[in-house]
Amino acid sequence: MGKNLPVPSVDVAVALIVSGDRILTVYNPLWSAFTLPMTKLHRWTHPTDPDKSTVEAWPDGAVRAAAEWLGRTLTTVPKEIADEPGYEQGDRTGEWKRYHFKVFRFDFDAEPDLAGGAVVEWLTKAEIINPDRKPIAKTARDLVAKALP
Protein backbone atom coordinates (compact mmCIF):
# COMPACT_ATOMS: atom_id res chain seq x y z
CA MET A 1 0.00 0.00 0.00
CA GLY A 2 1.26 3.48 -0.89
CA LYS A 3 1.48 6.23 1.64
CA ASN A 4 -0.74 9.26 1.36
CA LEU A 5 1.74 11.93 0.41
CA PRO A 6 0.84 15.59 0.82
CA VAL A 7 -0.34 17.29 -2.36
CA PRO A 8 1.89 20.26 -3.23
CA SER A 9 0.09 23.61 -3.04
CA VAL A 10 0.70 26.37 -5.60
CA ASP A 11 -0.66 29.94 -5.30
CA VAL A 12 -1.05 31.54 -8.73
CA ALA A 13 -1.86 35.20 -9.42
CA VAL A 14 -3.59 35.77 -12.77
CA ALA A 15 -3.70 39.04 -14.73
CA LEU A 16 -6.86 39.47 -16.79
CA ILE A 17 -5.85 42.32 -19.11
CA VAL A 18 -8.96 43.73 -20.77
CA SER A 19 -9.53 46.33 -23.49
CA GLY A 20 -13.19 46.78 -24.41
CA ASP A 21 -14.56 43.27 -24.95
CA ARG A 22 -11.14 41.78 -25.70
CA ILE A 23 -8.88 39.87 -23.31
CA LEU A 24 -5.14 39.46 -23.74
CA THR A 25 -4.10 35.84 -24.22
CA VAL A 26 -0.40 35.00 -24.24
CA TYR A 27 1.44 32.04 -25.70
CA ASN A 28 3.13 29.80 -23.15
CA PRO A 29 5.66 27.55 -24.92
CA LEU A 30 5.84 25.19 -21.91
CA TRP A 31 2.12 24.46 -22.34
CA SER A 32 2.15 24.81 -26.17
CA ALA A 33 -1.01 26.89 -25.80
CA PHE A 34 -2.37 30.38 -25.27
CA THR A 35 -3.31 31.23 -21.70
CA LEU A 36 -3.62 34.28 -19.44
CA PRO A 37 -0.64 36.07 -17.91
CA MET A 38 -0.05 34.33 -14.58
CA THR A 39 2.70 33.60 -12.10
CA LYS A 40 3.32 31.67 -8.92
CA LEU A 41 3.59 33.89 -5.85
CA HIS A 42 7.15 34.45 -4.70
CA ARG A 43 8.12 33.06 -1.30
CA TRP A 44 11.15 34.13 0.67
CA THR A 45 12.43 31.84 3.39
CA HIS A 46 13.94 33.47 6.46
CA PRO A 47 17.56 32.28 6.72
CA THR A 48 17.28 31.13 10.35
CA ASP A 49 13.56 30.89 11.13
CA PRO A 50 11.22 29.29 8.55
CA ASP A 51 8.20 30.48 10.58
CA LYS A 52 9.15 34.05 9.62
CA SER A 53 9.04 33.37 5.87
CA THR A 54 7.34 35.93 3.64
CA VAL A 55 4.90 35.40 0.79
CA GLU A 56 4.33 37.94 -1.97
CA ALA A 57 0.99 39.77 -1.82
CA TRP A 58 -1.53 38.51 -4.38
CA PRO A 59 -1.98 41.88 -6.19
CA ASP A 60 1.81 42.24 -6.46
CA GLY A 61 2.03 38.86 -8.17
CA ALA A 62 -0.71 39.86 -10.62
CA VAL A 63 1.05 43.14 -11.40
CA ARG A 64 4.28 41.22 -11.99
CA ALA A 65 2.48 38.84 -14.39
CA ALA A 66 0.93 41.77 -16.29
CA ALA A 67 4.21 43.71 -16.44
CA GLU A 68 5.98 40.77 -18.08
CA TRP A 69 3.69 41.07 -21.12
CA LEU A 70 3.11 44.83 -21.04
CA GLY A 71 6.82 45.52 -20.75
CA ARG A 72 6.32 48.33 -18.26
CA THR A 73 5.56 49.24 -14.69
CA LEU A 74 2.02 49.90 -13.47
CA THR A 75 0.70 52.35 -10.90
CA THR A 76 -2.82 51.05 -10.30
CA VAL A 77 -3.79 48.25 -7.94
CA PRO A 78 -5.82 45.67 -9.88
CA LYS A 79 -9.25 44.56 -8.72
CA GLU A 80 -9.61 40.94 -7.59
CA ILE A 81 -12.52 39.41 -9.53
CA ALA A 82 -12.23 35.67 -8.84
CA ASP A 83 -10.81 33.32 -6.22
CA GLU A 84 -10.60 29.73 -7.44
CA PRO A 85 -9.06 27.15 -5.09
CA GLY A 86 -9.16 23.48 -5.99
CA TYR A 87 -7.34 20.51 -7.39
CA GLU A 88 -5.89 20.48 -10.86
CA GLN A 89 -3.48 18.10 -12.48
CA GLY A 90 -0.29 19.69 -13.76
CA ASP A 91 -0.53 18.99 -17.48
CA ARG A 92 3.20 19.31 -18.07
CA THR A 93 4.40 16.83 -15.43
CA GLY A 94 1.30 14.79 -14.64
CA GLU A 95 1.92 15.46 -10.93
CA TRP A 96 -1.17 16.33 -8.91
CA LYS A 97 -1.01 19.77 -7.34
CA ARG A 98 -3.49 21.91 -5.45
CA TYR A 99 -3.69 25.17 -7.37
CA HIS A 100 -5.18 28.30 -5.87
CA PHE A 101 -5.83 30.94 -8.53
CA LYS A 102 -6.78 34.55 -7.84
CA VAL A 103 -7.73 36.59 -10.90
CA PHE A 104 -7.09 40.33 -11.01
CA ARG A 105 -8.58 42.57 -13.69
CA PHE A 106 -6.61 45.30 -15.47
CA ASP A 107 -8.75 47.56 -17.69
CA PHE A 108 -7.37 49.62 -20.58
CA ASP A 109 -9.31 52.04 -22.82
CA ALA A 110 -7.29 50.92 -25.84
CA GLU A 111 -5.12 47.87 -26.40
CA PRO A 112 -1.85 48.74 -24.63
CA ASP A 113 1.56 48.40 -26.23
CA LEU A 114 3.15 45.07 -25.38
CA ALA A 115 6.65 43.87 -24.63
CA GLY A 116 8.78 43.30 -27.72
CA GLY A 117 8.56 39.79 -29.11
CA ALA A 118 5.37 38.95 -27.19
CA VAL A 119 3.28 36.25 -28.88
CA VAL A 120 -0.28 37.24 -28.01
CA GLU A 121 -3.82 37.37 -29.29
CA TRP A 122 -6.67 39.59 -28.14
CA LEU A 123 -9.84 37.46 -27.88
CA THR A 124 -13.37 37.88 -26.59
CA LYS A 125 -14.68 35.75 -23.73
CA ALA A 126 -16.76 33.75 -26.24
CA GLU A 127 -13.66 33.07 -28.34
CA ILE A 128 -11.60 31.96 -25.32
CA ILE A 129 -14.21 29.54 -23.98
CA ASN A 130 -15.03 28.14 -27.45
CA PRO A 131 -13.66 24.56 -27.35
CA ASP A 132 -13.16 24.62 -31.15
CA ARG A 133 -10.53 27.39 -30.87
CA LYS A 134 -7.13 25.82 -30.24
CA PRO A 135 -4.60 25.84 -28.69
CA ILE A 136 -6.01 27.50 -25.58
CA ALA A 137 -5.15 26.10 -22.15
CA LYS A 138 -8.04 24.56 -20.21
CA THR A 139 -6.99 26.64 -17.20
CA ALA A 140 -7.48 29.88 -19.18
CA ARG A 141 -10.89 28.75 -20.46
CA ASP A 142 -12.06 27.82 -16.95
CA LEU A 143 -10.76 31.00 -15.31
CA VAL A 144 -12.31 33.30 -17.93
CA ALA A 145 -15.65 31.46 -17.72
CA LYS A 146 -15.70 31.79 -13.91
CA ALA A 147 -14.25 35.32 -13.64
CA LEU A 148 -16.47 36.90 -16.29
CA PRO A 149 -20.04 35.57 -15.86
Q: What is the CATH number of the domain that holds 77?
A: 3.90.79.10
- How high is the pLDDT of residue 96? 83
Residue 110 lies in a domain: yes
Residue 18's beta-bridge partner residues? 23, 107
pLDDT at residue number 92: 65
Closest CA to 63 of 73, 53, 54: 73
Flag whether 128 is in a domain. yes
Return per-residue pLDDT of the chain as tens, 149 residues: 456 667 888 999 999 999 999 999 999 999 999 999 999 999 888 788 878 789 999 999 999 999 999 999 999 889 999 999 986 776 567 788 889 999 999 999 999 999 999 999 999 999 999 999 999 999 999 999 999 98
Half-sphere exposure of 26 (CA within 13 A, CB side): 22
> Sign of the C-alpha dihedral, residues 39, 120, 126, 60?
positive
Q: What is the pLDDT of residue 95?
A: 80
- Residue 2 in any domain: the answer is no
Number of structural domains the chain divides into: 1
Domain housing 92: 9-147
Within-domain flag for 3: no
SS3 call for 44: strand
Q: E strands along 20-146, which residues?
A: 22-28, 33-35, 38-40, 43-44, 54-55, 79-89, 96-108, 120-123
* Any domain includes 64: yes
